[in-house]
Amino acid sequence: MGLIVQKFGGTSVGSIERIQNVADRVIETYKQGKDVVVVVSAMGISTDHLIQMANDISENPSKRELDMLVSTGEQVSMSLLAMALQEKGYQSISLTGWQAGIKTENAYGNARILDIDIKRVNGHLANGNIVIVAGFQGLTDDDEIATLGRGGSDTTAVALAASLKAEKCEIYTDVTGVYTTDPRVVKEARKLDSISYDEMLEMANLGAGVLHPRSVEFAKNYNVKLEVRSSMEKETGTMIEEDVSMEGNLTVRGIAFEDNVTKVTVHGLQDDISTLSTLFTILSDHKINVDIIIQNTNGNEATDISFSLDSQVLKYALEVLSKYQTELNYEHISYEGDLSKVSIVGSGMISNPGVAAKMFNILASKQIKVKMVSTSEIKVSTIVDNSTMLSAIECLHEAFELEAKQPVNV
Ligand code: ADP
Ligand code: ASP
Ligand code: MG
């Protein structure tokens, strides 16, 4: 028999016609003798509209009420899909996240899934139903509705696939798979047949919005067979799996980017043993995520520390740092916004020294100034001006030979 979890994103359920199309895709799998659990996102950009309405009422809406509000989006599409399936003659039931037993931590707006009680879903499956579950939502210990962060329906799907021991989790979206970079930005981007969990996790964390990062974490930790594919076209998509060999002698699998970066510099700190720990403890106590960190010491007693963060939290970070000026004993703070992060990702870097050097050479040859750098075993990230982001992505994509080349398995 076997069980498949299928997730359909916002565009894929964006109209009544599209919901009918989703119903047909689901029925195709059901007719192959599979149990099917479907996870849906809210229709089109309806989550954005809900957030907009909240912001029209309040500058700082209560996080609890915001989750109550945005969790309704998925409940519209899940019930419409269940009706479409019933209309076509198939037994179907829709469940909210909490009805489906999804338990989350107590963190409105960005909760992690802690556990799934699969009893009810299994019961409905056993009775012959196609079960539709609302993505992006769960219930906390205090019986409060919490959402999983933007794009979180992917995570609902993979977590359910892990708990239900599904044979596969299929993420249906508005592109035909995972590409070497966002195909809406670089038209030469090439669809990948497969990509490893680790590479996909880096890509997702570094801005490739095609999968919610936590969904990839779940897939890796529970070894879920994961495929990203199109809800409109029939071609096979991209498999995300454990070991994927590099194609030919390529070192880089893909390029990810995001354009919401600000660099903050704290000038004139005392250069003593606890400076770094005091500064970053204050930031972390206030839940401010920093990314790349650079310390500049120029020989005397003072030191400057720069770090990058999401531009959305800049205002709050500056308020916090100013509140602690006496304790931190710094001279002043400066910041530079309108920056982007452009990253190359690929497991081929582990065994090939010089990938970072090649990246910097390519960027320099295009007169693109790199302002910050960070690396891991399988990625190099650079911070550049927003105005140079696109040309950085394009020249790296070309130089690392990511465009249209026949995959060669080695
Ligand atoms: P859904 O609503 O189905 O969850 P998303 O908008 O969240 O869809 O994700 C699909 C989008 O991800 C694509 O339309 C594409 O613009 C973007 N994207 C970013 N990076 C990549 C990539 N490397 N490969 C494919 N799509 C990408
Ligand atoms: N509807 C939610 C969002 O727009 C969750 C999702 O689409 O995955 O972020
Ligand atoms: Mg998405």
Residues 39 and 31: their CA atoms lie apart, in Å, by 18
Residues 341 and 373: their CA atoms lie apart, in Å, by 9
Of the bound ligands, which one is closest to the alpha carbon of residue 238? Answer: 1
| Residue 294 token pair | 């650079």
Identify whether the C-beta of residue 167 lies closer than 8 Å to the C-beta of residue 1.
no
My answer on whether 23 and 137 are in the same domain is yes
My answer on whether 144 and 256 are in the same domain is no
My answer on whether 170 and 248 are in the same domain is no
State the pairing for strand pair 113-116/130-134.
unpaired
Say yes or no: CB of residue 155 within 6 Å of ligand 2. no
Identify whether the C-beta of residue 343 lies closer than 8 Å to the C-beta of residue 202.
yes
End-to-end CA, the chain: 34
DSSP 275: H
Paired strand residues for 384 = 340
pLDDT given at position 405? 55
Residue at 200 is within a domain: no
Domain boundary at 123, 153, 174, which? 174
Residue at 216 is within a domain: no
Residue at 184 is within a domain: no
Q: Which atom of ligand 2 is nearest to the CA of 151?
A: 8
Per DSSP, the three-state class of 38 is: strand
Residue 113's nearest CA partner among 94, 135, 95 is 135
Say yes or no: CB of residue 77 within 6 Å of ligand 2. no
My answer on whether 28 and 161 are in the same domain is yes
CA of residue 211 to ligand 1 center, whole Å: 7
Domain boundary at 128, 150, 174, which? 174
Residues 53 and 168: their CA atoms lie apart, in Å, by 37
Identify whether the C-beta of residue 378 lies closer than 8 Å to the C-beta of residue 345.
yes
pLDDT given at position 404? 66
Residue at 162 is within a domain: yes
My answer on whether 355 and 276 are in the same domain is yes
Number of structural domains the chain divides into: 2
Identify whether the C-beta of residue 211 lies closer than 8 Å to the C-beta of residue 204.
yes
Of the bound ligands, which one is closest to the alpha carbon of residue 148? Answer: 2
Say yes or no: CB of residue 153 within 6 Å of ligand 2. yes
Residue 150: which CATH number? 3.40.1160.10
Say yes or no: CB of residue 42 within 6 Å of ligand 2. yes
How far is residue 397 from each of residues 166, 349, 407, measured CA to CA in Å? 36, 15, 16
pLDDT given at position 407? 40
Residues 10 and 18: their CA atoms lie apart, in Å, by 10
My answer on whether 153 and 35 are in the same domain is yes
Residue at 185 is within a domain: no
The per-residue b/e assignment along 210-232, b for 16 or more CB within 10 angstroms, e otherwise, is bbbbbbbbbbbeeebbbbbbbbe
Say yes or no: CB of residue 71 within 6 Å of ligand 2. no
Q: Which atom of ligand 2 is nearest to the CA of 45?
A: 4
Residues 223 and 217: their CA atoms lie apart, in Å, by 10
My answer on whether 141 and 17 are in the same domain is yes
My answer on whether 262 and 152 are in the same domain is no
pLDDT given at position 351? 81
pLDDT given at position 180? 97
pLDDT given at position 409? 36
pLDDT given at position 348? 87
How far is residue 216 from each of residues 13, 28, 34, 115, 195, measured CA to CA in Å? 22, 26, 24, 17, 11
My answer on whether 146 and 279 are in the same domain is no
Ligand 1 pocket list (CB less than 6 A): 9-12, 41, 151, 173-175, 178-179, 181-184, 208-210, 254
Domain boundary at 132, 157, 174, which? 174
Residue at 214 is within a domain: no
My answer on whether 161 and 259 are in the same domain is no
Residue at 203 is within a domain: no
Torsion (CA) 218, 244, 225, 376 in degrees, nearest 10: 10
My answer on whether 166 and 253 are in the same domain is no
Task: Find the farthest-apart pair of alpha carbons in the chain and give their distance in angstroms, rounded.
Answer: 78
Residue 287's nearest CA partner among 308, 313, 307, 325 is 313
Residue 398: which CATH number? 3.30.2130.10
Q: Which protein residue has the closest C-alpha to ligand 2 atom 9?
A: 150
Expressed as residue numbers, the domain containing 284 is: 244-410
My answer on whether 7 and 138 are in the same domain is yes
Q: Which protein residue has the closest C-alpha to ligand 2 atom 6?
A: 151
Residues 143 and 87: their CA atoms lie apart, in Å, by 33
Q: pLDDT 10s per residue in the chain (410 long)?
A: 799 999 999 999 999 999 999 999 999 999 999 999 999 999 999 999 999 999 999 999 999 999 999 999 999 999 999 999 999 999 999 999 999 999 999 999 999 999 999 999 999 999 999 999 999 999 999 999 999 999 999 999 999 999 999 999 999 999 999 999 999 999 999 999 999 999 999 999 999 999 999 999 999 999 999 999 999 999 999 999 998 887 777 889 999 999 999 999 999 998 888 999 999 999 999 999 999 999 988 777 789 999 999 999 999 999 999 999 999 999 999 999 999 999 999 998 988 889 999 999 999 999 999 999 999 999 999 999 999 999 999 999 999 999 865 443 33
Q: Which of 155, 210, 389, when mutated, tests ligand 1's pocket best, judged by the most ligand atoms within 8 Å of its CB?
A: 210
Residue at 112 is within a domain: yes
